[in-house]
Amino acid sequence: MVVLELHGISCLEASTPGEALDIVRREDVGVVIQDMNFSTDTTSGAEGMQLFRSIRQLDPDLPVILLTAWTSLESAVTLIKEGAADYIAKPWDDQKLVLSVQNLLSLRKARFEALRLHSRDSLAREELARRFDLRGLVYQSRAMHECVSLAVNVAASDAAVLITGPNGSGKERLAEIVQANSRRKAQPFVSVNAGGLPDQLLEAELFGAEPGAYTGATKLRVGRFEAAHQGTLFLDELGNLTLTGQMKLLRVLQTGEFQRLGSSQTRRADVRLISATNADLKAEIAANRFREDLYFRLNVIELHVPALHQRPEDIELLAQHFLERHAPGRALVLTPEAMLVLEQHDWPGNVRELDNRIQRAVLVCENGPIVPSHLGLSEREPASHPAPVSAPASTPPASGPPLNGDPPPARAAAPNPLEEAERAVVESALERAQGVVSRAAAELGLSRQALYRRMDRLGIAIERRVR
């Protein structure tokens, strides 16, 4: 079309459906503008419906704009439900058509870029798993990949590592990954809850005790430092250590020497130290509850494990992993409704809570698919964490054909990488339009109804529209 070429958009024209399909097969087409009628003896739109469906078979992601007269409007609405990008009634507005094509081309380019990045990330994960022992860790999010990549990179050194993150997020598994890829991988990996014992018992736990060293000590006790000699010692719950316990730990870190309780013999242990905490140690230092000198001894390298709600793309993968682990040999599947409940949940207990919920579902589900009631989460409140920027509430137009008879989901599932780019474009337009849907639609070159459909599909504040 001349009007598109005047705006720098190159076009290929076809006079028959066959020619159009040949072009889609041969050429790198970004958008299809398709008339619903091709001959003068019919106005039903049947030819246009058949062509659209043939294009979708060749390229399901290729956006198609339908040009329709009122006589074929019902057919166009049917195709919108089947995935057409938009329809424009004849006679069309040239400016609106150009804007619609430009934005669809931008969206398609952004989606391909997102796909390229997703493929690159997937290859990077596969390469990491091939080169290093990841101890069976299951993830696909970029946030977790960055954390694991840093862990394997620092594994070769003997530097002290501090792992931070909420309870249940997988801090001990990350410590195991550091150990498994270090020069100490064949040596002991010894774990101890550093904050779960009184000071005297902690000293005996870490450094050992001779018989009679304290009441009830009837035999020799080898401490964790000694047991981890030439290997790795993992100190969990570090933030719960008392100040006295911190002093005792700092002393052995400074000198490399310790004594068993009840003994005057000085011992040494060659240990790689990894510690973990869910506490904000800087805040604890400011409150005089944690020693700053101990913090710097332990925090040569910091690894932060993100909470599960910060990496929602890992939820489905982890759920399937736990399902296979807890139900080996059983043909159990999670229904889409159950998966939606998992994606909406806040996960205060993180990966450990997800594991427990899947185990519960396996135990209460005798046969058939797993539904929300099996998870015990259906009555919970949805996630309280901030949602993506969205438009203020708005009401769909009172008149016009019903463009989508299906009720919108309560909340969209975590977007896949192909949707993230489209979501960003739509949300940005809504933000610039201050939530006025009609204004955002005009900027994007879409009808209001087409923008509503995109908002429905992407889960953008559907329940909050006001105008």
pLDDT at 386: 40
How do 267-268 and 257-258 pair as beta strands?
A: antiparallel
- Common-topology check for domains 2-92 and 309-375: no
More confident residue, 424 or 358: 358
Share of the chain above pLDDT 90, in %: 44
How far is the C-alpha of 443 from the C-alpha of 347, rounded, in Å? 38
Neighbours of 356 (CB within 10 A): 15
- Annotated domain spans of the chain: 2-92, 142-305, 309-375
pLDDT at 39: 59
- For the segment 278-299, the average pLDDT, to the nearest whole number, is 95
**How far from each other are the two terminal CA atoms of the chain, in whole angstroms?**
35
How far is the C-alpha of 375 from the C-alpha of 319, rounded, in Å? 11
150-208 pLDDT, tens digit per residue, is 999 999 999 999 999 999 999 999 999 999 999 999 999 999 998 777 887 888 899 99
Task: Return the residue matching tokens 């990350």.
Answer: 174
How do 86-89 and 161-164 pair as beta strands?
A: unpaired
| The residue type at 277 | T
pLDDT at 382: 43
Task: Return the residue matching tokens 């309280």.
Answer: 384
More confident residue, 427 or 269: 269
Residue 323's pLDDT band, with cuts at 50, 70 and 90, is very high
How far is the C-alpha of 229 from the C-alpha of 186, rounded, in Å? 12
Residue 462, token pair as written in the block: 């559907």
The CATH-assigned architecture of domain 2-92 is 3-Layer(aba) Sandwich (3.40)
pLDDT at 389: 35
How far is the C-alpha of 4 from the C-alpha of 314, rounded, in Å? 42
Fold of the 142-305 domain: Rossmann fold (3.40.50)
- Is the predicted pLDDT of residue 415 greater than 50, yes or no? no
pLDDT at 391: 34
More confident residue, 236 or 121: 236
Going by CATH, does the domain composed of 309-375 fall within 3.40.50.300? no
Contacts of 96 (CB under 8 A, 6+ apart): 88, 445
Give pTM, 2 decimals: 0.64
Residue 388's pLDDT band, with cuts at 50, 70 and 90, is very low
Residue 301 and residue 274 in contact, taking contact as beta carbons nearer than 8 Å: no
Q: From the CA atom positions of the chain, what is the Rg in Å? A: 30
54-112 pLDDT, tens digit per residue, is 998 898 888 898 887 765 667 777 788 888 888 887 777 788 888 888 888 888 888 78
Contacts of 1 (CB under 8 A, 6+ apart): 11, 13, 33
- Is the predicted pLDDT of residue 291 greater than 60, yes or no? yes
Residue 131's pLDDT band, with cuts at 50, 70 and 90, is very high
Max avg pLDDT among 243-252, 291-300, 392-401: 291-300
The torsion of the CA quartet 318, 319, 321, 324, rounded to 10 degrees, works out to: 170
Residues in the chain: 467
Share of the chain above pLDDT 70, in %: 84
Task: Tell me what the pLDDT averaged over the chain comes to.
Answer: 82
